[in-house]
Amino acid sequence: MKTLKGPGLFLAQFVGDKPPFNDLFSIARWAADLGYKGLQLPTTADLFDLEKAAASKDYCDDIIGKLAEIGVEITELSTHIQGQLVAVHPAYDALFDNFAPAAVHGNPKARQEWAVSQMELAAKASRNFGLDTHATFSGALAWPYFYPWPQRPSGLVEEAFGELAKRWKPILDVFDEAGVDVAYELHPGEDLHDGVTFERFLEGVDNHPRANILYDPSHFVLQALDYLAFIDIYHERIRAFHVKDAELQLSGRSGVYGGYQSWVDRPGRFRSLGDGDVNFKAIFSKMAQYDFAGWAVLEWECALKHPEDGAREGAPFIRDHIIHVTEHAFDDFAASGTDAAANRRLLGLD
């Protein structure tokens, strides 16, 4: 059995213009002081040079060494933004242009090419950082049709997932060459947002060994999906873990679709760790049961609490939930010491 690593912190929600959040090493010292041991790094936040990291192992080793002196290490790199742009339905072109460099605005083909090149750089950078898992989004072509009204024409979903797989298969091959798993965060707004959609995609990429899952129970709470049974079903493909809380409060006025309300008013909303409904004791138990050896990484998102309070509370929360797995069975003291011949006698086979 394996003990998972942590606590880790995803920096996407904390990077900013003011110290200590405007520099990789200053934010690393801040996180280390809170008790974090690992950092998940968004590749679009100017924390490091992605192109240089893809080209130079010496550059990566220098960063690794400086972080080690602070007392932290990199858990994974993240390309959630670039992964989103691998596949964009035209309805979202104007909004998602803001995720890309100005040079590709208004040009969906160029934007997609930029995203793919970023993914390839991230594969090589992950390898140079000595990482074996990468966090990302899948993007979406079918999302505007997630609700079957008006009735979807026959073959529409199959065509969307076929195209999604076609775009991702060469990227997965690049990650395979680098020895890095791609962990898709299953997330509303992505074509990969639950188990069924992940299975559709997996079939489309011929069960590619690098196509895996970033498990985040908060997104399943908001979909009323059994997030514990999900681990039982898909644990062999879970490669990354976002520790994020959420709640779904039954209402007579609004449901899982949210009524176009802001996050603070929605029946389903993200919360800081311990303030929502997620049963983390059960989740960490299942992670131990299935030998998940990756990182437990806080992704802080909460409509109510201040982010620095959420980060401060998150490190001890994760630390206290990590199960240091046992090296022997609790009843080994009562072992009978029998052998194969004795077992046959006990079964009346001799």
Tens of pLDDT, residue by residue over 96-129, are 999 999 999 999 999 999 999 999 999 999 999 9
Segment 240-265 shows an average pLDDT of 97
Give pLDDT tens digits for 163-178.
999 999 999 999 999 9
Max CA separation in the chain (angstroms): 80
Q: 8, 38 in Cβ contact below 8 A?
A: yes
Nearby residues of 308 by Cβ (< 8 Å), 6 or more positions away: none
DSSP line for 14-65: T--SSTTTTSHHHHHHHHHHHT--EEEEETTSSSS-HHHHHH-HHHHHHHHH
Q: Residue 238, SS3?
A: strand
Joined tokens for residue 244: 């994020």
Candidate from 116-120, 183-187, 281-285, 324-328 with smallest mean pLDDT: 324-328
pLDDT confidence band for 327 (50 / 70 / 90): confident
Give the total number of structural domains in the chain. Answer: 1
Give pLDDT tens digits for 266-290.
999 999 999 999 999 999 999 999 9
Segment 46-71 shows an average pLDDT of 98
- Is residue 333 pLDDT above 90, yes or no? no
Nearby residues of 207 by Cβ (< 8 Å), 6 or more positions away: none
- Is residue 226 pLDDT above 70, yes or no? yes
Query: Which pLDDT belongs to residue 334?
Result: 58
Segment 337-349 shows an average pLDDT of 87
Joined tokens for residue 346: 């006990």
Helices (H), the chain: 24-34, 50-55, 57-70, 80-86, 93-96, 108-128, 156-178, 195-204, 217-221, 227-234, 280-289, 307-321, 340-346
Joined tokens for residue 105: 């605005």
Q: What CATH number corresponds to the domain at position 195?
A: 3.20.20.150
Q: 310, 272 in Cβ contact below 8 A?
A: yes
Pairing relation of β-strands 295-298 and 5-10?
parallel
pLDDT confidence band for 330 (50 / 70 / 90): low
Range of the domain at 121: 5-346
Cα angle at 252 between 248 and 256, to 5 degrees?
A: 35
Q: Radius of gyration of the chain from Cα atoms?
A: 22
- Is residue 331 pLDDT above 80, yes or no? no
According to DSSP, the residues that pair with 77 across neighbouring strands are 41, 134
Query: Which pLDDT belongs to residue 350?
Result: 78
Q: What are phi and psi of 136, to 5 degrees?
A: -160, 175
